[in-house]
């Protein structure tokens, strides 16, 4: 099976493959301002609400001010819902059996990809809010997909999916605008 034919999505959310997509943007660039973002507040928010609250290394203590720039590997629409997808080439062990849900989650936590995917989802949220007339996060956003390419033939297909609650995205939006995060 080729990479573009790997089943993505999850039960109840519609399984699809990259090869079946019609609406997508590769390497979507985003910019947004940061105003006195306390990394400890950001870290606490992520620890409470992402990756099942699992333990992860703490972010370095700092205050972020200025512009944040990033590139999302792939943003796409499937059945009216928008997703961010990031390709990962991490080596999690020899053979397909190494690419379990637990191993992928451990890599996400160790490398702090949880921070990466919430920033991507915040960028997507802001973009959709400005472009879709009747935008609704719950209805219109499918979530973040991390595709561990080396595990594409494993039982998990190397796919990790998460969609933080709207309250988290709104708290991030407030935090990056220099306001207190409430979630």
**What CATH number corresponds to the domain at position 110?**
3.90.320.10
- Per the domain annotation, does 132 fall within a domain? yes
pLDDT in tens, the chain (183 residues): 588 888 887 655 568 889 989 999 999 999 988 888 888 989 999 999 899 889 999 999 888 888 999 999 999 999 999 999 999 999 999 999 999 999 999 999 999 999 999 999 999 999 999 999 999 999 999 999 999 999 999 999 999 999 999 999 999 999 888 776 555
Domain span holding position 42:
3-176
Cα(2)–Cα(175) distance, rounded to whole angstroms?
A: 41
- Per the domain annotation, does 183 fall within a domain? no
Which one-letter DSSP state was computed for residue 63? E
Number of domains in the chain: 1
- Per the domain annotation, does 103 fall within a domain? yes
Q: Please report the pLDDT score of residue 183 as a whole number.
A: 56
pTM: 0.92
Nearest-5° Cα angle at 117, 1 to 15: 35
Return the residue matching tokens 């080396």: 150
Catalytic residue selected from 43, 73, 86, 140: 86
Look at strands 81-88 and 141-148 and give their pairing: parallel
- Per the domain annotation, does 182 fall within a domain? no
- Per the domain annotation, does 101 fall within a domain? yes
Our answer to whether residue 86 is catalytic in this structure is yes
User: What is the C-alpha R_g of the chain?
Assistant: 16
- Per the domain annotation, does 47 fall within a domain? yes
């Amino acid at each position: 099976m080729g990479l573009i034919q790997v089943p993505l999505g999850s039960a109840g959310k519609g399984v699809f493959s990259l090869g079946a997509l019609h609406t997508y943007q590769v390497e979507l660039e985003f910019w947004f301002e940061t105003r006195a973002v306390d990394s400890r507040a950001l870290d606490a928010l992520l620890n409470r609400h992402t990756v099942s609250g699992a333990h992860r290394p703490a972010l370095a203590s700092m205050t972020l001010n200025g512009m944040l720039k990033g590139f999302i590997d792939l943003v796409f629409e499937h059945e009216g819902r928008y997703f961010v997808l990031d390709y990962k080439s991490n080596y999690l062990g020899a053979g397909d059996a190494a690419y379990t849900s637990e191993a992928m989650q451990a890599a996400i936590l160790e490398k702090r990809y949880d921070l990466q995917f919430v920033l991507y989802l915040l960028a997507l949220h802001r973009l959709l809010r400005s472009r879709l007339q009747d935008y609704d996060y719950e209805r219109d956003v499918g979530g973040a997909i991390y595709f561990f390419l080396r595990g594409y033939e494993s039982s998990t297909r190397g796919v990790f999916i998460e969609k933080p609650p709207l309250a988290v995205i709104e708290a991030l939006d407030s935090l990056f605008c220099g306001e207190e995060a409430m979630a």
